[in-house]
Amino acid sequence: MKFGYFDDANKEYVIQNPKTPYPWINYLGTQEFFSLISNTAGGYHFYKDARLRRITRYRYNNVPVDMGGRYFYIKDGETIWSPGWSPVKTELDTYTCRHGMGYTIISGKKNDVSAEVTFFVPQNYNGEIQSLVLKNEGTAPKTISLFSFVEWCLWNAQDDSTNFQRNYNTGEVEIEGSTIFHKTEYKERRNHFAFYTVNDTIDGYDTDRESFIGLYNGFENPQVVTAGKASDSVADGWSPIASHYKEITLKPGESKQLIFILGYVENPKDEKWNADGSMNKSRAYAMMEQYDTPEKVAAGLQELKEMWDNLLSKYTVKTPDDKMNRMVNIWNQYQCMVTFNMSRSASYFESGIGRGMGFRDSNQDLLGFVHQIPDRGRERLIDLASTQLEDGGYYHQYQPLTKKGNNEIGGDFSDDPLWMILSVAAYIKETGDYTILDEMVPYDNDESKAKTMMDHLEKSFFHVVENVGPHGLPLAMRADWNDCINLSCFSDEPGESFQTFTSPKYGEEKYSKVAESVMVAALFTYAGPEYVAMCQKREDTAGAEKAQAAIDTMKKNIMESGWDGEWFLRAYDDFGKKMGSHECEEGKIFIEPQGFAVMGGCGKETGADLKALESVDKWLNSEHGLSLNQPAFTKYYIKYGEISTYPGGYKENAGIFCHNNAWIICAEAFVGHGDKAYEYYSKIAPAYREEKYSDLHRTEPYVYAQMIAGKDAKWHGEAKNSWLTGTAAWNFVAVSQYILGVIPDWDGLKIDPSIPHTWDGFTISRQYRGAIYDVTVQNPNHVCKGIASVTVDGTAIDGNVLPVFGDGKSHTVTVVMG
C-alpha cells in the first residue's frame, strides 16, 4: 500500500494517510537552529547540539509512538481534533502532509473547518515559524477554541531525562502578553532562553503541564482543551510548557492566519539583564518583529525555497528513468545536506543524547554535499582535523557545540584516518583550492600544537602504515568501519560497550596486535592514491614515492594474505584465524572489503577483482539488496564481538547495509558493469521501493535507510534507521560519479559513465569551479561503458577530462559512448 506520492514539480512528498507504517519525518533548519517534524507534527527542536541545547522535549520509544511535538488543538462544539490527526486522533474529513525542502505543510479538515500549518526555519534565524490558517468552509458561522502546545526541555536532554530530583524544582517561565518565555536556569549560569509567541491577542495561556493535560491524561485528551478554556497556569518547577488559548469566530468562507514563533535567544553575558534587573528580551522582540505578518512569512518561505533551488541546481540530470531523476535531483541531495548538519546525532533512531558528530561519518558525508556548499565543507574539514591526536589517530566523535573530541568513546578506530584523506581530496577536486593543505590546524584542539593540514594527512596515512599486524595488514584496533566487529573486546559482561571495552589482557596496548582488518587494507588502496596525488601536486616527489611504495606493499600483502580464493577475507582475529573465509562455519563472506579492493586495483592482473564481484552477487544478493555477510551468525562468537549478538538478517549480522551496498555499486560501475550497478542501485534507492514495498519497508519512501532486513530476517525487506546514514552520501557518489560518470578530478571534470546498456543516453547540468557544464551523453551502440569522443563547445578534445573554465558561463559538452 502507498501512503502518498511524489510531487516532483514542487519537490515534495505528499502523505495522504496519517497512519504511516512508522512516523515519516522531515528536517527544518540548515544553519544553527534545527527541528525534526513528523507527518503528524511530532518531533522536537534544538540549537546546534541536540544534547546540550535541546529546546523542546520528546519521548523516544514511547507508546503510542511519536508522542510530543508542536500541537494545535481545535475544539468545535464537542468535537476536538488536530490538523495533523495526532495526538487527538479524531478521524479527519481530509488530511495531507507535504514534506518539502526545509518545510512541512500539514492540513486537516473537520466539520467544515480547515486548518493548514506551514512549518519552517527561515534562513539566518534561530526559530521555527508555524503559520496557521483557519478557514470556515461551511455555510454557517463557526466559533472554535484554539490551543497551541509545546513542552520545554530543560536544555541538557540527557540531564532532562534522568535528573528528576533536581529538574522537578527548576522550571521557570514568564508570560508577557502573547509570549511565553522559558527561562529555566537563566538567572544562574545560562545566558540563553526560549520563547513561544503568536502575533495576536490571546484569551488565556497555560505554562504548567499538569494543569494543562491533567496528571492522568495524555496528549490526546488535555483537560484544559476538553474544558474549552485555559487555566492561566504558571509553571513553578515540575514540567513547564507553553500553550496559547484563543476563541475564534469565522463567518462562512472567512479565514484567519495566526503566526506562531518558537525561538531561541542567546545574550552576551554582559547583556543578560536590563537596568531594572529584568531579563533582556530585546533580541526576542526583534525576532518576533521579523515574522509578525503573513507577508513577511511568505517572503521568508520563498527565500528558503530559492536557497534550496539554488543548491539543487548545482547537479541536475535527465535520464530515461524518472525515479533516478527524482533521487538525484531532489531527495538524495537533500538527504546529503541533512546528514551534513546532523551527522548521526538526531533522528527518530538517534536520540541526540548518546553521541555527537561522528568523525568517519562526517568525513563520508562531505562526499555528498561538497559540490553544494564547499565553503562549509572546508570549515567542517578543519573542525574534523582539529580532533586528530598527535599519533595520527582521531577522536571517533565530537560535540558540535564545543567541537571538542568526545572522551567517552575516545579513538583507536582503525579506519578513521583514511576518511580524512578521502574527504580533503574530494574538497580539492571540487574546488581546486589547494590552500587548505597549508591551513594551520591544531591537534586535539590545542592551538599550540597546530601544524598544516598536509601534516595531518601525512600522519593519517602513516598511522595506518605503522600499525600493521603479522601479515602486514592494518591492525583492527577497537573496530574498523564496522563498529560491530570488535576483535579486541572478548566481552562476556552484559552492558559493556563493545566499542570502548577491550580485554584486560592487552594492558596498556589497548587492543590486539594480532587482529588485522582486510577492510582497512582495501580502503587504504582506494584512499592512499589520493594522498600520493596531493604530494605530487605539492611537488613532494620523495613523499609521493614513499607513500606509493607503502600502497604497493599493501596490495601485495592483500593478495598474499587477504585473498580467499573467490573473495577477499574480512579480517584476521586475535588468534590469527581468518574471518570471512570459506574456512569459517558462519560469516564466510563479507561485503565491506570487496568493493574497495576492486577499486583499489587489487587482483586486477589475475581477474580476482571480477571474481570477488561475482561472489558478492552469488552469495549476498537478494530481492532487497546485498547482505553484509553470509551465512548469518547464529550463535555468539566472543572473539568477533557485537556483530554476532544480532539476530540473523538484522544490522551488521547479515542485514542489508545500504551504506556498503554503494561501494559495490561503485565497483561494478568501475569495472564497466553498468547493468549490474544499476540493478543494485534500484534495489535500495527509496523511490524505487515506494511503489512495491511501502508497507514492508516502513520508513520514509523519499530517503535512504541505513539498513534493510536481510534474507535471514523474519521481515526481509523492512528498513530501520532512516535519514542519518552514510548511505546518502555514498549512493549519491555511486549514481552521480560512477553510474552517470561526471566526476570532479584534480585538473577538471572527468566524464566516464557506466550505465544500463538499454539507455540511449542522458543529460546533466553540472556547476563546477565557476562554470556550468551542460553535458549530453549519447549511447548509439548501447554499451555500458566507454568513451568514443568528447566535444566541448563544438571542439573535440583529447581524453575525457573537461577543461576548467571558471568564467561563469555555460559550456556545451557532447559525449559519445562506444
Place of cell 472567512: 254
Cell of 767: 556547476
Alpha-carbon gap, residue 345 to 339, rounded angstroms:
9
Copy the grid coordinates of residue 256. Answer: 484567519
Contact 34, 53 (CB under 8 A): no
List phi, psi (to 5°) of 525: -70, -20
In whole angstroms, what is the distance from residue 146 CA to residue 746 CA?
59
Query: Please, which residues bridge with residue 809 across strands?
Result: none
Q: Where are the alpha helices (DSSP H) in 449-540?
A: 453-465, 518-537
Quote the CA–CA distance of 45 and 37 in Å, as a whole number. Answer: 9
Q: Distance between CA atoms of 265 and 256, rounded to whole angstroms?
A: 29
Look up cell 476538553; give the residue: 226
Does residue 500 contact residue 589 with C-beta atoms inside 8 Å?
A: no
Contact 257, 193 (CB under 8 A): no
Q: Residue 26 is inside which H or E element, if any?
A: strand 25-28
d(CA 82, CA 69): 12
- Give the amino acid at 760: D
Residue 44 CA to residue 36 CA, distance in Å, equals: 6
At residue 457, φ and ψ (nearest 5 deg) are -70, -35
Q: Residues 206, 483, 564, 574: which is the catalytic one?
A: 483
C-alpha–C-alpha distance, residues 312 and 607, integer Å: 40
Output the CA–CA distances (angstroms, integers) from residue 748 to 144, 250, 528, 806, in the order listed: 62, 62, 20, 11
- Asked whether the beta carbons of 329 and 321 are under 8 A apart, the reply is no
Q: Is 159 a catalytic residue?
A: no
β-strand partners of 791: 796, 814
Q: Specify the pairing of strand 79-81 against strand 94-99.
A: unpaired
Active site residues: 483
